[in-house]
Amino acid sequence: MARPSWDEYFMEMAHVAKKRSTCLTRQCGVVLVKDNRVIATGYNGTPKGTKHCNEGGCARCANRINGTVESGKDLSNCACCHAEENAIVQAALHGSGTKDTVLYTTFVPCTLCAKMIINAGIKKVIVNEEYPDDLGKKLLAEAGVELMKFRPSSS
């Protein structure tokens, strides 16, 4: 069995983190890393102490399931915190700085998360899959945050 690269190792952790998500439509996981050390993880779901999506906690998620809201639309009416947001908040809550960190995420960050990533001083974002939000990618590029597509090592 081949030893995974650092990128493979942390991206696999992001995929494990997304398994904690309670979102009905899209599960996302994040790992925030500094000097090859995990400082926080995150997944998407409603705020702590509130009803989970899968318990009826987010009307937008229910509307996505019944087809009345498109992917990436009406996000201002979503009760969920995004995985990137949760990882940044967890780092702050536990006293870990986010400056010059690397964020591994299962999806390209949305505009809101891109703004948080920029302001948190995160220097690089490694993504596994696309997300329909070009403004987030544009803001990251303009702010000098490196956005890199995850590429597993060839076996």
Catalytic residues: 84
Amino acid at 133: D
The pair of structure tokens assigned to 144 is: 């000098």
Q: Which residues pair with 98 in a beta bridge?
A: none
Edge to edge, what strands does the sheet with 146-149 contain?
Answer: 37-43, 29-34, 102-107, 124-129, 146-149
Count Cα neighbours of 49 within 13 Å in the Cβ-side half-sphere.
0
Q: Which residues pair with 127 in a beta bridge?
A: 105, 149
CA–CA gap between residue 99 and residue 47 (Å, rounded)? 24
Q: What is the helix, strand, coil percentage profile of the chain, to 5?
A: 35, 20, 45
